[in-house]
Amino acid sequence: MNSKLKDYLILFGVAGVVIVLDQWTKSLVRANIEFGSQWLPDWLSWLSPYARFVNWHNSGAAFGMFQNGNLVFTVLAFIVIAAIIYYYPQVESEDWTLKLAMGLQLAGATGNLIDRLMFGKVTDFLSVGTFPVFNVADSSITIGVIVLLIGVWYKEQQEKKNAAKLSSDSDQSIVNNEQSNISGEQS
């Protein structure tokens, strides 16, 4: 199988699973919870002050930021999606954290774009404490950023470790050369 095709299958596989989950949960909320209302199963009622399902709309960015920017965020989503699809095959095959992060970002951007195109706004339904209401797509974007940051941090740690080892090996080589030169001068 062509490696580019395999790369895209992984990207679209990760994104596809998250998009389906996002759209399914949003449709459940739209069908079962009246707009502006909240719901929590009886057996989870103890969570009510801290977490609940609500039916809320968002015309801005993730977590309710920049309201009434639907057109801007629609265009931005198309740009982000195109950039991810274009740059994805250029990522090193060993950099799985970046590939996973890009898949999650693609899923989040696409999930919310579908809502914007179909309904003119994004359905949000997860309410935790006083944090803004969000959805699976928003979570996917956030988790994608976290995975990206962890991946970059890990890669930097590996590079520092390799540089320190290389420096140590180089220092040892210099010491060995100096000892060899001293031994040669003593002969």
| Helix, strand, coil % in the chain, rounded to nearest 5 | 70, 10, 20
What is the SS3 assignment for 95?
Answer: coil
Number of other residues whose CB lies within 10 A of the CB of residue 127:
18
Contacts of 17 (CB under 8 A, 6+ apart): 107
Angstrom CA distances, 171 to 152, 175, 178, stand at 28, 6, 11
Contact at 8 Å (CB) between 22 and 62?
A: no
Q: What is the 3-state secondary structure (H, E, C) of 114-128?
A: HHHHHHCCEEEEEEE
Residues annotated as catalytic (active site), given as ranges:
124, 138
Q: Which amino acid is at 24?
A: W
Q: For Cα atoms 147, 153, 155, give the angle at the middle one, nearest 5 degrees.
A: 100
